[in-house]
Amino acid sequence: MLGWLPVERWRNPHPVVAVIRFDGVIGSRQGRNTISLGSHAAALEHAFSLSGLNAVALAINSPGGSPVQSALLYRRIRQLAEEKSVPVYAFAEDVAASGGYWLALAADTVYAEEASLVGSIGVVTSTFGLNQLIERFGIERRVHTAGERKSLLDPFLPEDPEDVVRLGALQRDIHDSFKDLVRSRRAGKIDAADTMLFSGEVLTGRMAVARGLVDGIGDLRGVMRGRFGERVRLVPVVAQRRRRFWWPRVRPYTVSDPQGIVGAAVGEALDWLETRAIWARFGL
């Protein structure tokens, strides 16, 4: 006799946990290994709409990136969790640092492996200085602005100390937002007097548990089976991200316009180097 069971329970007798992967650098540019609200919005909507849903699990392997995209993803997850009254769990894999940890804060409970790299609660800005390169090839950089502070840290010009001061003010404001979010989401779990938590240092999973940034050590499958039973169904929900090739898709090379493909190729190469540099901060 199943008539007494709720309809959803009768249709799906096993607990259901939606699993969404966040693997890569966080940023607005759409690429194969880039995380953004645009790349994951549909997957999040689908995950929180599964029939018989008991929880949503976030599998995070990200060194961070854009604070804006991190905040947008965080906000969308919290909105859906509250609308659907569904608990959210985050699982740090190799790394959930900087924007990756910002994303983990969207969860009600955060887990990591003992050797995971977690935290790095700070703000970093990196770019390239190409002024000597263009001088070597006899290229003249021309920038025209209306507004004395319109241009900031142009990579084709020598570094301006005043630009560095302005950038520092922007970074401090973003850092304050990050710190406020950590204090709010980890209230009662972190030591409010532990100012070193916000120094940008990275912690292992065990260190993060001891200092309240993470709730426990565990893997997604093991923790979900422990909470919802051996028959729990882990349902992967895949984000649809555009495949991006290294060689740029630009207009063909012509004698009259040779810089098109060269400039795009340089841009692609710099993007690749920047992505590698972000991962390399954590030895990955």
Alpha carbons 57 and 103: distance in angstroms, whole number? 12
Query: Domain count of the chain?
Result: 2
The residue range of the domain holding 250 is 245-284
3-class secondary-structure state, position 85: coil
On whether the CB atoms of residues 204 and 114 are closer than 8 A, the answer is: yes
Report pLDDT for 177.
87
Decide if 274 is inside a domain.
yes
The one-letter amino acid code at 117 reads L
User: Is residue 255 scored above 80 in pLDDT?
Assistant: no
The one-letter amino acid code at 41 reads A
pLDDT tens by residue, 130-174:
555 555 655 655 555 555 555 555 555 566 666 556 656 676 788
Report pLDDT for 142.
56
Decide if 33 is inside a domain.
yes
3-class secondary-structure state, position 246: coil
At residue 123, φ and ψ (nearest 5 deg) are -135, 130
Catalytic residue (one of 98, 120, 184, 199)? 98
At residue 234, φ and ψ (nearest 5 deg) are -95, 115
Residue 238 shares a structural domain with residue 249: no
Decide if 146 is inside a domain.
no
Band of pLDDT at residue 192, cut at 50, 70 and 90: confident
Report pLDDT for 167.
54
Residue 47 shares a structural domain with residue 108: yes
| Range with the poorest average pLDDT among 96-100, 205-209, 246-250 | 246-250
For the entire predicted model, the pTM comes to 0.73
Alpha carbons 129 and 259: distance in angstroms, whole number? 20
On whether the CB atoms of residues 121 and 197 are closer than 8 A, the answer is: yes
Residue 81 shares a structural domain with residue 108: yes
Query: In angstroms, how far is CA 157 from the centroid of its own chain?
Result: 30
Alpha carbons 172 and 185: distance in angstroms, whole number? 20
Higher pLDDT, 192 or 69: 69
3-class secondary-structure state, position 244: coil
Residue 7 shares a structural domain with residue 39: yes
Report pLDDT for 172.
76
Report pLDDT for 107.
98
Residue 73 shares a structural domain with residue 99: yes
| Range with the poorest average pLDDT among 186-190, 201-205, 241-245 | 241-245
Query: Has 199 been annotated as catalytic?
Result: no
Decide if 188 is inside a domain.
no
Decide if 211 is inside a domain.
yes
Q: Which of 84-88, 195-199, 245-249 has the highest mean pLDDT?
A: 84-88
Decide if 194 is inside a domain.
no
Alpha carbons 161 and 248: distance in angstroms, whole number? 34
The residue ranges of DSSP E strands in 80-196, in sequence order, are 88-97, 109-112, 117-119
Residue 111 shares a structural domain with residue 249: no
Residue 115 shares a structural domain with residue 250: no
Q: Which tokens go with 72?
A: 């947008």
Decide if 134 is inside a domain.
no
The H-or-E segment that residue 18 falls in is strand 16-23
Residue 274 shares a structural domain with residue 231: no
Decide if 87 is inside a domain.
yes
